[in-house]
Structures are given as C-alpha cells and as structure tokens.
Amino acid sequence: MSEGEAEPPAEPAPDEPEPDEVESAEPITSGPDDDGDLVDDGTPVLPYGSWPTPVTSELVVKASVGLGGVALDGDAVWWSEARPEEGGRIQLVRWRAGETADALPNGVNARTAVHEYGGGAWWVRDGRLWFTDWKDQRLYTLDAAAGPAGVAPVPLTPEPEVPRGNRWADGDVSADGRWLVVVREHHPPGGGPVDVVNELVVVDNTGEQPPRVLVSGPDFVSDPRISPDGNQLCWLQWQHPDMPWDGTELCVAALRWSEVGPGISHPEVVAGHPTASGIGESIFQPRWAPDGSLWFISDRTEWWNLYRWSPGTSGLGGAGSIEPMVELEGEIGLPQWVFGQSRYDFLEDGHVVFAYRKDGVDHLAVRNDDGTIDDVELPYTTFGSIQADGKQVVFVAASATAEMAVVRVRLRFRLDHGAGVLGAPELLRPPRDLGLEPEWFSIPEPISFPTSGGRTAYGLYYPPANPTVSAPADELPPLLVLIHGGPTSAARPMLQIETQYWTSRGIAVVDVNYGGSTGYGRPFRDQLRGQWGIVDLDDCEAAAHHLADDRQVDPDRLLITGGSAGGYTTLAVLAFRDTFAAGASHYGVADLEALAKDTHKFESRYLDSLIGPYPADRDVYVERSPIHHVEGFDRPLAVFQGLEDEVVPPNQSEMIVDALRARGVPVAYLAFEGEQHGFRQAANIRRALDGELSFYSQVFGFALPADEGIEPLTVENL
C-alpha cells in the first residue's frame, strides 16, 4: 500500500501558451463570485479555488522524471529515470565527464515486480550493466559502452514456466564479474500468494551454469552482499507476519567457491533476534566496509541508527560483536517498501557519510574517523540513494523550492573545522526548469498538534500562494488534507508540483504525518499497531481542526485525499466521522477483509499488525471496513482506480462506488486501463488531477480558469 506514479502530457495546441508563457498572461477574472475589485497592488480579488495559475496538470507531468537509485562505477555515475512521456518506463542514464547518455534501447524498461513495489532492478560494475526488464521480468546484461544503439541486451535467465513467473531484484556481483547473487521471486503455475517463493539464487554471467538456489526457506530475503575478500555473504530475511520495518534478521555465511559457483556454509543470524518483549528488531541496508566489518542500520534503540558487526576471534561461529557507530534521535533508516535504498556509504580514511531525518526534515552528515559527527550544510531537505567514493558523495536530493536532482559534492576533512563541502554542489542531473518565480511556491511549514490519547502528531502545512491574485478579505481558504500511502511512509519536505497545483489555486494543503509514519522513532511508528482506522483518522481530523481553530482555513470547506493506504483513511474518515465536506480516494482500500484475502504475498499478512490476525479478528475487519458502513457516507466522494492494480484490486473501488450510487450520495468514478497501483501514464495523471479539481469545484461552486480546458468530471447524485 505504498505510493505510485505516471504517462506524458500531450503537446500544447499551437495557440495554447506554454506554462512559462501563462505566468505573464493577464489573470482570468471571470467567476461566479468575482466583483472585479482590485486591491492596492492592482491584483484582482478572486475566490479561493478559482485562482488562475501556470501550475497546470500539464506542467505537473511535462518533462517530469522520477529520479531513482544512483550507482558509481569508476569515473561514471549512473541513475534511473521514470519518464511519464514514455509511458512511465524506467530508463538508465550514465554520466561521464559532463556528458549523459541513455543506456537502454527504446521499449526496454528496467523495473522489477518483486514485492510488486520493486526497486533494486539494476546494478553496474566495470562497465557492465545487469537489469530486470518489466515486460518479461527476466534478468539481462548489457555492455554499458555499447549504449542504446549498440548490442541488444542479452538474457541471463531462462523463460519461466508462466509469463513473468520468475522476477529478479537486488543483486550483487562477484569480484571477477562472473557470478551474481540475486533475489528471485518465483510464481508457480496456477499458484496464489501463499505459493510464491522468495529466495537467493546464483546466476552465471557466462550462461554456462543454470541458476542455482543459494538460500531458501525464509518468507522474504533481500540485500545479498558479498564481502570485499569474497569469503562471506550477508543478507536480510524475515518471516510472516512481520513486515521489514517490524522485524528482520541479518545473516552472514561463509562463501565457498567451485566450478559451479559459490555455495554457503555456517550461516549465522548476527543481528535482529526478537527482543524479550517479543517485538522484533528492524535491520536495514547491510553494507561491507573496506576493512571487512559489516555495517547496518537498526532500530534496536528506538531510532534507526548505524551499527557495526565484527566477527569473533574464531571467525564465523564465534560470538562476534556489535557496536553503535552513530547514535542520535533521528532516523537514518527507511521502511523497506522497495529494494536498493541507500542511506549511508564509506568515504576514505574511515569517514562515513549518511542521511538522517529529524523533525520531518532530512540532513546529510559525516561520521569522522574519531567518531564525531558533522552536519554537512547543503540547501536540501530530502536525500536519497547515498553513494560515495573517496571524498565525493553522489545522491538524489530536493528542497522546498526545487524538485529532485542528482547531485555530487566533494567533501573536505579538517581536524580544526570538521567535515564540510569543498566548493559548490554539482548538478549532474538538474531539476527541470519550471519557468516559475519563487513567489509561486508555497513553502511548507512544519507543524505539530495535539491529538487523541494525549499524543502529538505532525505535518507540513502549505498556505495558498499566488502572486497575481488577492483573496477576499472575508474568506478563508479551503483545506485539502493529504494522507500519505504506506502507511509507514511520511510527508516529504520537498517541492512537489502536485501540491503547488492546489496551493496556487487558493487551496491550502496539509500533508499529515499521523501516528505510524516514519521519521519520529519506533514508538511513534508503532502507534498504528492494531489501530489502523483509528489513529490515522484521529490525526487527520486533528490536523484539520488545528488549522481551522487557528483561523488559517475554512472549517466548512475541509477536504481529504489519499492513495492506497491514504485512500483507505479517506474512505474511513468519510464513513465514520463528520469532519470533512468531501474527499477523493485514489486506489484506496474499501474492504479490509477482501484485502486480507486477495492481495500479493508481500502484504498478505500486513494487516495482522495493523488490524489483527485474520480470521480470528474478522469482526474488527468488518467493523473498520468502509464498505460495511455505507450508511455513514453522506459527503461527496471521488474515486480513481487503475484496472490492473494487484495491490488493491479494482473491485475494492467498484464496491464502494456502487454502494454510494445506490444510496444517492454524490459520487464520481474514474478508472484507467493499463494502470497498476499508482498512475504512471501522463495522460492519466493529468486526468486524475484535473478530475479531482473539477470534483471540488462542483462541490463548492467555484469556477475553474477557462483557458485550461479542464474536462468536467461526471458527479452522480449531485
């Protein structure tokens, strides 16, 4: 129940202005409540919600890319780009000496379906690339120097028994480049989620030996990593009903080599044993250091901090030792929804660079060889995919006024001044030029507010921002409450044009970090255990009431929207509470019992911790499922759904829509062919975004700017 993506906007008609041209155009002043008044600065007074803006749905997706994992290979830097204008496919890009080049031929999509959410679909070493192709989920290799016009990718794995039946992710390569250790997810013919097998498999890069299982038995495995000397292998494993942020085990085994590839002996769980309270330890991103010690992130002290394991004097089988390397009240780790995330790496001379999140904002820091910590001052609030080499570190980052970019910085280490940046950050892949002045961007304000049970919840508040319009003096803006997916995800303090789409029109936004969200420590994350459908509802209501009581938003025009798990919260709060005037669910869960019975393996036991074991606690599932309480719906609802969604199947949305139709509640339904869990095609992203705006405009009666050509969403029973 994580978050999704998008396809390309159509090119504007010849007489349609480009987004940067719209900015300087005369504001549209037509609207049902417009009296044509001007304030002292000459800007027109227009009702909230009707403000003209260059931040259109076209701008949201036009030339936008989702930047993913970064890899360093000699003097080359690699990263992935999700391109809406190419149907959302993942292209791999190589940067060298200031020049960038696409690596994959047209139509090839480096994306894996393992766990449905993927990640870790590619890796590179010594100029050779390995990746999983979305179309057939087979593993391929490619000479990176050949480029997209060169030799076609070569398949390394055989055709499975059923199409896409073997899915590959998160691999590592032996020092000689011949052997890969890879996560394989096997879907047998005619099998369901209970029949899916996840294991570690050895793949021969020469094709001489068939793939061979190395580790099998655990419900899930990830992060296979070969030690620098080639003598050890580490990996993570976990069992149902745990999710990886609940409890994982870090395993280490000796590697033995033969003509058929590596084998393992003396496997040992070195970290992640259950605690005395029965609560597991969440281990994240194991990584071998150059000296042969094994570093990893753990929440054993309630925060995802950094630790080091060293074998005992007798090697594997000895006691070994674990020592803390970075301890702070901040989160270095992240929930492992996808493979291949990186939050730290090793620099030269014993220094380690890492990202951590505190009070909802990311920071970059260096652990010096003497154990001291220096924050690195950079103009970013979100960091991802930390990769380092010598004194350089490359990562993906964003700020409140700039979208994601691939950034390289060079660090200096001085005893008298600590670690710091040497020179200005270098943008290897700059954020796109939106053609907008900073006044168009609403800067998020971190907020905290009281909520049920004496708890405190958090969020990012975005007030309306538009330099060309003034608001009526006697009016407060509507508020759109954003509920993130996950539900262990978190609001991200970075420029997201989708949010500015709303704020530039005069609609305030609050992105809520309810109990269960990541970034505030394990106890805060565990607030949702057994309480999904209660704590999240309480906290999103508390955020809305907090801002309304503070006279920042209109208490009669409170809206709520979310996707996946956020869609469930949207549906549930409309079914069980009366705070919100309307809402929009994007591929949200309507029937918890149906989700428990009919979802993919990775999340098939997730509700055990969020709700309770099924079917033992079936009554709780029914009690908290919006589909069983349609009598509580009396507020307008818009529903958006992908028809190929295997995480939240379409029947979830269709059941709730049919029920509201029958009851005469205002409802709109928009389904998209070819979309999975989250929208990737630009045309569909635009239609969903504009459709949601059209829905709210009909509910509240404000006009839409005529020149955007927004197609009205059909709202039944309104």
CA-CA distance, 606 to 647, in Å (whole number)?
A: 12
Looking at residue 563, its amino acid is: G
Using the predicted structure, report yes or no on whether residue 16 has a pLDDT greater than 50.
no
Chain segment 466-521, per-residue pLDDT in tens: 999 999 999 999 999 999 988 889 998 999 999 999 999 999 999 999 999 999 99
Structure confidence at residue 43 (pLDDT): 87
Query: Out of 2.40.40.20, 3.40.50.1820, 3.50.50.60, 3.40.640.10, which CATH number does the structure's domain 19-23+32-62+444-708 have?
Result: 3.40.50.1820
CA-CA distance, 38 to 29, in Å (whole number)?
A: 10
Chain segment 129-174, per-residue pLDDT in tens: 999 999 999 999 999 776 665 578 999 999 999 999 999 999 999 9
Tokens of 81: 């780009």
Distances (CA, A) of 139 to 105, 204, 318, 439, 691: 15, 11, 37, 47, 39
Average of per-residue pLDDT across 603-613? 95
Using the predicted structure, report yes or no on whether residue 32 has a pLDDT greater than 60.
no
Average of per-residue pLDDT across 379-392? 96
Structure confidence at residue 501 (pLDDT): 97
Q: Give the E-state strand segments of 179-335 in sequence order.
A: 179-186, 197-204, 212-215, 220-226, 232-238, 249-258, 261-271, 283-288, 294-298, 305-310, 321-326
CA-CA distance, 450 to 172, in Å (whole number)?
A: 46
Using the predicted structure, report yes or no on whether residue 307 has a pLDDT greater than 90.
yes
> Would you list the DSSP string of 634-654?
-S-EEEEEETT-SSS-HHHHH
Average of per-residue pLDDT across 398-407? 95
Q: Whole-number mean pLDDT of the chain?
A: 90
Average of per-residue pLDDT across 53-79? 93
Residue 125, number of CB atoms within 10 A of its CB:
16
Structure confidence at residue 314 (pLDDT): 46
Tokens of 42: 């000459």
Using the predicted structure, report yes or no on whether residue 12 has a pLDDT greater than 80.
no
Structure confidence at residue 201 (pLDDT): 98
Size of the chain, expressed as the number of residues it contains: 718
Average of per-residue pLDDT across 395-405? 95
Maximal CA-CA distance, the chain: 84
- Given a contact cutoff of 8 angstroms between Cβ atoms, the answer to whether 515 and 535 are in contact is yes
Would you place residue 316 in the very low, low, confident or very high pLDDT band (cuts 50, 70, 90)?
low
- Given a contact cutoff of 8 angstroms between Cβ atoms, the answer to whether 352 and 386 are in contact is no
Using the predicted structure, report yes or no on whether residue 706 has a pLDDT greater than 90.
no
Tokens of 20: 């940067």
Considering only CA atoms, which of 575, 578, 567 is closest in space to residue 625? 575
Is the CA virtual torsion 444, 445, 450, 456 positive or negative?
A: positive
Tokens of 281: 């330890």
Structure confidence at residue 2 (pLDDT): 53
Structure confidence at residue 148 (pLDDT): 65
Structure confidence at residue 311 (pLDDT): 85
Tokens of 332: 């270095």
Structure confidence at residue 277 (pLDDT): 55
- Per-domain residue ranges of the chain: 19-23+32-62+444-708, 342-431
Chain segment 411-426, per-residue pLDDT in tens: 998 777 688 898 899 9
Using the predicted structure, report yes or no on whether residue 434 has a pLDDT greater than 60.
yes
Structure confidence at residue 8 (pLDDT): 28
Tokens of 139: 């593993």
- Given a contact cutoff of 8 angstroms between Cβ atoms, the answer to whether 596 and 607 are in contact is yes
CA-CA distance, 281 to 273, in Å (whole number)?
A: 7
| DSSP tag of 369 | T
Using the predicted structure, report yes or no on whether residue 26 has a pLDDT greater than 50.
no
Distances (CA, A) of 232 to 30, 255, 292, 394: 70, 5, 9, 27
Tokens of 428: 């290897």
CA-CA distance, 356 to 365, in Å (whole number)?
A: 8
Chain segment 73-86, per-residue pLDDT in tens: 999 999 999 998 88
Structure confidence at residue 7 (pLDDT): 29
Task: Report residue 179: phi and psi, to 5°.
Answer: -110, 140
> Mutual orientation of helices 535-549 and 565-576 as an angle, nearest 10°?
70
Average of per-residue pLDDT across 623-644? 95
